[in-house]
Amino acid sequence: MNVSAAKVKELRDKTNAGMMDCKEALVESGGDFDKAVEYLRKKGLSAATKRSSRAAKEGAIASYIHMEGRIGVLVEVNCETDFVAKTDNFKSMAKDLAMQIAATNPKYVSPEEIPGKEMESEREIYRSQALAEGKPEKILDRIIEGKLKKYYEEVCLMDQKFIKDTDKTVRDVVNGLIASSGENIVVRRFERYQLGEDRQ
């Protein structure tokens, strides 16, 4: 199938994937743009999974100051080499993540960081709510998992909708850069400061 260069460029602009990957995705999906995006996401995810075991010790600490100094964020993003850390794409993503944290105020990087006690407490709340609404016992687990997913989207950076493109999560954005850079990339930690806010 013949794929136009304009369509390949459009897909590349949307996904940050390599030109050849974009062309392959469009060919595989019969020119369907949405299917091509999905194809690249799956490919990026499998590539990201393979790379996730590799050590990421380089990177950058990005900062963002918002509302004339009322909110400040520091975020550490790691990659494998200094070369990737110095690329515009890496620096731009780190800055975007700092802006994301300023705007959405997550508590954790990912669900794995949520303390067991907090998870149990959330599960118990959702169980009680479902029972109070008269939901049958056999579907409680499914309801609880659905509510936990929504909870992760609120409190975990990686599960949040990306503020610059709400069709993607932050995890999709990071995985896209993993796929295009060929390196493992890890959002290590962050701090968000708000003027006058008490520390927990």
Give 70-120 pLDDT, tens digit per residue: 999 999 999 999 999 999 999 999 999 999 999 999 999 999 999 999 999
Residue predicted with more confidence, 67 or 53:
67
Residue 200 and residue 193: Cα distance in Å, rounded? 12
Lowest mean pLDDT among 5-14, 42-51, 92-101, 159-168: 42-51
Contact 183, 51 (CB under 8 A): yes
- Would you say the C-alpha torsion 142, 145, 149, 154 has a positive or negative sign? positive
With b for 16 or more beta-carbon neighbours within 10 A and e for fewer, the 108-138 pattern comes to bbeeeebeeeeeeebbeebbeebeeeeeeee
Tell me what pLDDT residue 96 has.
97
Domains annotated for the chain, with CATH where assigned, are: 5-51 (1.10.8.10), 58-110+156-194 (3.30.479.20), 115-150 (1.10.286)
Contact 7, 19 (CB under 8 A): no
Find the mean pLDDT for residues 44-68: 75
pTM to 2 decimal places: 0.71
Tell me what pLDDT residue 48 has.
54
Contact 88, 181 (CB under 8 A): no
Residue 169 has which token pair? 């999560």
